[in-house]
Amino acid sequence: MELKGVLENSSKIEEDLKRLNRALQAAHRSSIDVKNSYDFYILAIKELNKENLQDSFLYYDRAEYELTNAINDAKFKLRELKIHSFSTISFFFKLYGLYSVFFGIFSCFLFGFLIYRYSYVTVLEVPLWASFFAGLGSSAQILTGAIDDLLREATVVRYKRVWYVSLPLLSLIFGYMAYVIFSSGLVAFNVDSRSSIFSMMFICFLTGFLTNWLTNSLSHYSRNAYR
């Protein structure tokens, strides 16, 4: 039982240090001076490697304290009040993936508007709502991924980079091609025409939601094909 407790504590401090490392990186990229916090973070890592869990936790706690001080020091001072500066706002946006969250919300409204306004426009007899529903699906993927990261890691890990902006653009192509494939008769729907349209909308939405998976799968296939 004692060994199990040690392993659980070791695992916990490791996860805490990973989250602290992500916070330090976000603060550094936001031009916040985190040298003191980083020094204690390194000491915590060294003590963890020596399996001195108590000392590692103490250094981790001090690193958290120094990071909080650094963030407070980066705020604007207005008489007796401290308000967030561009640096601290940038820090929270990077740490919690708020850029991707706001982009996902914006793209959801954008594709919703396009579906409402231009649903009957066609390109080569393919309705553009197919691409727009895929774009809506990719926007939902961004939001779902960011929220999943926040629930599991307390920070956004995957959806905080610039590359997520390209997902809705790629999904437009995938949605278009999904409509072409499923409307060509290769896959038949044993339903009436109205239900068939709703099924196609769902397929295009699901294709957009799986854009990241499709991109990874196609990239893996292309690498193997040219070996």
**Final residue before a domain boundary, out of 78, 106, 139:** 78
Q: Which of 50, 78, 106 is the last residue of a domain?
A: 78
User: Cβ distance 142 to 167 under 8 Å?
Assistant: yes
**In a 3-state reduction of DSSP, which class is residue 161?**
coil
Amino acid sitting at position 35: K
Q: Which domain holds residue 111?
A: 96-225
Q: How many CB atoms lie within 10 A of CB 215?
A: 16
**Same-domain pairing of 32 and 105:** no
Same domain for 142 and 42 = no
Q: Considering its fold, how many domains does the chain have in total? A: 2
Tell me if 143 is assigned to some domain: yes
Query: What is the distance between the alpha carbons of residues 122 and 160, in angstroms, rounded to a whole number?
Result: 34
> Does residue 74 sit in the same domain as residue 126?
no
Residue 222 has pLDDT above 90, yes or no: no
**Residues 116-153: pLDDT tens digits?**
888 888 888 888 889 999 999 999 988 888 888 777 77
CA–CA separation, 141 and 206 (whole Å): 10
Q: Are residues 47 and 141 in the same domain?
A: no
Look at residue 18 and tell me whether its pLDDT is greater than 60: yes
> Do both 18 and 125 map to the same domain?
no
pLDDT grade for 7, boundaries at 50, 70 and 90? very low
Tell me the per-residue pLDDT of 164-201, one tens digit each, with 9 for 90 and over.
778 888 899 999 988 888 877 655 555 555 667 788 88
**Does residue 215 carry a pLDDT above 80?**
no
Q: How many CB atoms lie within 10 A of CB 89?
A: 15
Separation CA 125–CA 107 (nearest Å): 25
Q: Tens digits of per-residue pLDDT, 42-59?
A: 999 998 888 888 888 899
Bridge partners of 78, per DSSP, are 81
Q: How far apart are the first and last CA of the chain?
A: 51
Residue 207 CB burial class (10 angstroms; 0-12, 13-18, ≥19): buried
Residue 85 has pLDDT above 90, yes or no: no
- Which residue, among 129, 135, 140, has the nearest Cα to 104 in the 3D structure? 140
pLDDT band at 155 (very low <50, low <70, confident <90, very high): confident
96: tokens are: 């919690």
Query: What mean pLDDT is predicted for residues 154-162?
Result: 66
Spatial CA neighbour of 89 closest among 21, 144, 31, 143: 31
